[in-house]
Amino acid sequence: KVISLNVDKVFSFVNKSDIQAGAALAKQYNETLHKGSGKGSDFLGWLNLPSSITDADLKDIADTAQVLRSKCEVVVVVGIGGSYLGAKSVIEALSNSFDWLQKDRKNPVIVYAGQNIGEDYVSELIAYLADKSFGIINISKSGTTTEPALSFRILKGELERKVGKEEAKSRIVAITDAARGALHTLARKEGYKMYVIPDNVGGRFSVLTPVGLLPIAVAGFDIQKLVQGAAFMEKNTAPDVPFEKNLAEQYAVTRNELYKKGKKIEILANFNPKLHFFAEWWKQLYGESEGKENKGIFNAAVDFTTDLHSMGQWIQEGERSIFETVLSVANPANTVLVPKDEEDLDGLNFLVGKRVDFVNKMAELGTQLAHVDGGVPNIKIEIPELSEYYLGQLIYFFEKACGISGYILGVNPFDQPGVEAYKKNMFALLNKPGFEKDHEEIQKRL
Ligand code: PA5
């Protein structure tokens, strides 16, 4: 079983011949990626990551995870953007939906910090941690990002007050650059267990490094299977795999053809609420990779059928500038059948004995047809089940397609110069040392 891609429902909006014409270009850009001859070629470490992770790497991560699992009821993952979304997307997809409410847990609760600057959020997190044994995985490639640095300073203090400086050291893991950054300096000085984010792997492509693998292992999931799934897709999206079988090339071409036809917004729709954060990861991957030089598809996401009762109206009848990519899970892990009710006051007896997922699948099919009729092209990606192996496939598929797609668009998919603008203003407003002149300037604008 593999994930599959179906683009049949775009052909009333783009010509098959345009997609075929784009195929050669996609192949060429796939080769460009592998030759390292395109824009941003310093950041291609993710390309062969799945096949180059060794058993020893995985064992080391699993051992560190075990230390945290044995000591901690709660592990706080501190990071923002690519430094937390990959882990969160996989953990949420694989966890029981009511996970944090379970008593007698086998696995630590994973919570997140440093992904915002909400004072209430951090205060409530401190209160939650007050009577828990906890540890921290602090992730920052640059080691200088304000949000996680601020949260870590606060949480480190809480942990040291609680268990003492020495014990705190054994419950903190730092994942950062090999040589640079404040987090690197701090971790060296304190003697924290450290993992390196390779120089040539950007944040949003880092889920298959310890950035994603350590939190996922701490949460109790099988990182070996995740990597195996990704390695399968690495092989199956290589340039020597023909376009007809190469899902990454097909997806990259299709979305660019739709973009050329004025479909400027791609909505990733799931019919399984566990994929909510997977869509957040996807939004970052594509939004940060392609939204530059005044171009790029805008990435949005919806949870169906929930959002069919809100954004569904817009999707059906709003401005026709969108297309939809549906992430469909073929087989849910559990079975719930519709029960019989003698009185049938709700009129649902016609469904007796059917799986809840059958109803969901009919909603999915009905939605697809309605949206296509309403002028929304539809791409369908089906994943056999929510498991580590298939999530690994899906992750690598999207990463590979993103690299190809960015090159088709003509941008460098591996930089993010636009992220700096808000930081510069924030530092100027905060009068950070080194920003004194900017501080004076910005004050005049207020
Ligand atoms: O994809 C990216 O590069 C960004 O989203 C970063 O991951 C994010 O800004 C966090 O950066 P850092 O890991 O350096 O703290």
CB atoms within 10 A of CB 396: 28
pLDDT at 104: 86
Q: Is 425 near ligand 1, meaning CB less than 6 Å away?
A: no
pLDDT at 244: 96
Closest ligand 1 atom to the C-alpha of 81? 5
pLDDT at 133: 97
Of 4, 2, 23, the C-alpha closest to 257 is 23
pLDDT at 341: 98
Q: Which residues of the chain have pLDDT under 70?
A: none
The single-letter DSSP state of residue 179 is: S
The question of ipTM being above 0.85 is answered as: yes
Residue 288 annotated among the catalytic residues of the structure: yes
The single-letter DSSP state of residue 305 is: T
Q: Is 204 near ligand 1, meaning CB less than 6 Å away?
A: yes
CA dist 118 and 38 (Å) reads 39
pLDDT at 237: 98
The answer to whether the CB of 181 falls within 8 A of the CB of 38 is no
What's the Cα-to-Cα distance from 263 to each of 1, 4, 102, 314, 406, rounded to whole Å?
32, 23, 43, 14, 16
CB atoms within 10 A of CB 37: 9
Residue 257 annotated among the catalytic residues of the structure: no
Structure tokens at 269: 């729709």
pLDDT digits (tens, 9 = 90+) for 12-22: 999 999 999 99
Q: Is 193 near ligand 1, meaning CB less than 6 Å away?
A: no
What is the model's pTM?
0.97
Of 396, 403, 45, 32, the C-alpha closest to 199 is 45
Nearest residue by C-alpha to atom 9 in ligand 1: 81
What is the radius of gyration, based on Cα positions, of the chain? 23
> How far does residue 122's CA lie from ligand 1's centre (Å)?
20
Of 93, 4, 80, 83, the C-alpha closest to 278 is 93
Q: Which of 235, 295, 423, 424 is catalytic?
A: 423
pLDDT digits (tens, 9 = 90+) for 263-314: 999 999 999 999 999 999 999 999 999 999 999 999 999 999 999 999 999 9
Q: Is 145 near ligand 1, meaning CB less than 6 Å away?
A: yes
> How far does residue 422's CA lie from ligand 1's centre (Å)?
14
CA dist 186 and 369 (Å) reads 55
Q: Is 393 near ligand 1, meaning CB less than 6 Å away?
A: no
Q: Which of 42, 83, 399 to mutate to test the pocket of ligand 1 (most atoms within 8 A of CB)?
A: 83
